[in-house]
Amino acid sequence: MDFSSLNAVAMIVLLIGAATPILLAAIGELVAEKSGVLNLGVEGMMIIGAVTGFITATTTGSPMLGFAGGALGGALVSTLFAFLTQYLHSNQVATGLALTMFGLGLAALMGRNYNGIKPPRTDRLEVPGLSDFPVLGELLFSYDPIIYFSVFLVFAVWWFLNRTRGGLVLRACGENHDAAHSLGYNVQLIRFGAIMFGGACAGLGGAYVSLVRVPQWTEGMTAGVGWIALAIVVFASWKPWRVILGAYMFGGITILQLSLQALGISISGAYLSMTPYIVTIVVLVIMSADRKRASINAPACLGRSFHASH
What are the counts of helices (DSSP H) followed by strands (DSSP E) for the chain?
13, 0
What's the Cα-to-Cα distance from 49 to each of 65, 122, 214, 245, rounded to whole Å? 12, 16, 14, 24
What is the pattern of x (binds other proteins, CB under 8 A) and - over residues 241-280? ----------------------------------------
- State how far the Cα of 142 lies from the Cα of 138, in Å rounded to an integer: 5
176 touching other proteins, by CB under 8 A: yes
Q: How many residues bind other proteins (CB under 8 A)?
A: 22
Question: If DSSP codes are grouped into helix, strand and coil, which group holds residue 220?
Answer: coil
Contact 57, 189 (CB under 8 A): no
The kind and range of the H/E element at 217 are none
Stretch near other proteins under the rule CB under 8 A, chosen from 47-55, 134-142, 173-181, 188-196:
173-181
Identified binder of other proteins from the candidate list 180, 232, 236, 249, rule CB under 8 A: 180
Contact 288, 231 (CB under 8 A): no
- The one-letter amino acid code at 93 reads V
Question: Which residues between 285 and 304 bind other proteins (CB under 8 A)?
Answer: 291-293, 295-296, 299-300
What is the pattern of x (binds other proteins, CB under 8 A) and - over residues 129-168? ------------------------------------x--x
Task: Tell me which residues touch other proteins (CB under 8 A).
Answer: 165, 168-169, 171-172, 175-176, 178-180, 182-185, 291-293, 295-296, 299-300, 310
